[in-house]
Amino acid sequence: MAEELSARELQHLLSELIFLKPQKIIITGGEPLMRQDIFDLFDKFRKVPGSKKIHLCLMSNGILVDRKAASKIAGLFDEVRISVDGLPEINDILRGNGSFEGALIAIKNLKNAGISPGVSITVNSLNLPGLGDFLSYLIDELLITNFHLSMIKSFGASLNHPEFFCSIDKAGKVIEDFWQNRFGKFNLPVNRSRPALAGGWNCGLGSHINILPDGSVYPCHILSIPEFLLGNIRKERIGKIVSGQDKLAYLRSINFSELIESDNSLKDIFKRGTCFGEVCRKEPGLLKKYKF
Ligand code: SF4
């Protein structure tokens, strides 16, 4: 990948993002705290008028969240999510030795600094059997009630571990059973504000953008592939890249249910919980057929 954006370029980008009035900016990685200048950047950002209305969410593995970092995070970010995928024996297989302990220390430091962290869990075949116990541990032992579950997706490093893939139906059953046993009922609120993916699952395509460390802009992290490149902030201002974007408007307008109804060949591809981006990566023919 090309060189990472410099502090100056990032500062410029952040101050321009304010004019787009995003509801939320999620800072993720890799590990965003590896950037030595991250606190300085967001300290400056928070001083720009209008920036306080933007919800800043930091995603981290927690390893670098010592007491000093925790107190800076609490002062700058509205939300922090620590990535942990299970109890130590499972988490450390997936994320490396000592990573569970590191995450625990981060959670403690963040709480002491006055911010209540959430936990991000990538659901896969290895952590699924113990997922209920892990969620109970988070709630009962760590008093964490804010967790984000997402299915493992077939891109990046996970492509080397096909054995970790599991069906969303199996995962959904485990989560529903856990919830029902614990709380008696399971009513998942579904956002109906845009056409849903097959089976009533949502896709935020067209409503958000993903900016990579080299400044290239894509519709989402899964669709960070050449066919979906929207531009690069080293060449154009972010406002120009996003405004009048036919690709974004087109993605926003796709009605997945109608699309699947109109094309039988899509019925086997788009199943419950299918990620549109994953399908496009696996079936490049679709890109041409529908001019995505
Ligand atoms: S393509 Fe997949 S990852 Fe991207 S917004 Fe849609 S569901 Fe989410």
> Could you tell me the distance, in angstroms and rounded to a whole number, from the CA of residue 205 to the centre of ligand 1?
6
pLDDT at site 158: 82
Using CA atoms, how far apart are residues 28 and 8, in angstroms rounded to an integer? 19
pLDDT at 194 over 90: no
pLDDT at 272 over 80: no
Return the best residue to mutate from 222, 255, 278 for the ligand 1 pocket (most ligand atoms within 8 A of CB): 222
- Of all protein residues, the one whose alpha carbon is nearest to atom 4 of ligand 1 is 220
Mean pLDDT of 179-203: 62
Mean pLDDT of 258-269: 81
pTM of the model: 0.90
pLDDT-derived band at 292, boundaries 50, 70, 90: low
* Ligand 1, CB cutoff 6 Å, lining residues: 203-205, 220, 222-223, 275-277
Mean pLDDT of 101-109: 98
| 289's tokens | 């057929």
Return the best residue to mutate from 190, 276, 292 for the ligand 1 pocket (most ligand atoms within 8 A of CB): 276
Q: How far is CA 212 from the centre of its chain?
A: 13
**Which atom, in ligand 1's list, is nearest to the CA of 204?**
5
- Of all protein residues, the one whose alpha carbon is nearest to atom 8 of ligand 1 is 203
> Could you tell me the distance, in angstroms and rounded to a whole number, from the CA of residue 165 to the centre of ligand 1?
17
pLDDT at 100 over 50: yes
Using CA atoms, how far apart are residues 139 and 20, in angstroms rounded to an integer? 37
173 contacts: CB under 8 Å, gap ≥ 6: none
pLDDT-derived band at 198, boundaries 50, 70, 90: very low
Q: What is the pLDDT of residues 204-251, one digit of tens each?
A: 888 899 999 999 999 999 999 898 999 999 999 999 999 877 888 888
Is 82:50 a contact under the CB 8 Å cutoff?
no
Using CA atoms, how far apart are residues 64 and 159, in angstroms rounded to an integer? 27
Q: What is the pLDDT of residues 154-189, one digit of tens each?
A: 777 888 888 999 988 899 889 989 999 998 876 655
- Of all protein residues, the one whose alpha carbon is nearest to atom 6 of ligand 1 is 203
> Could you tell me the distance, in angstroms and rounded to a whole number, from the CA of residue 141 to the centre of ligand 1?
32
> Could you tell me the distance, in angstroms and rounded to a whole number, from the CA of residue 67 to the centre of ligand 1?
35
Nearest to 196 by CA among 133, 291, 275: 275
Candidate from 55-69, 138-152, 225-239, 245-259 with smallest mean pLDDT: 245-259
pLDDT at 33 over 70: yes
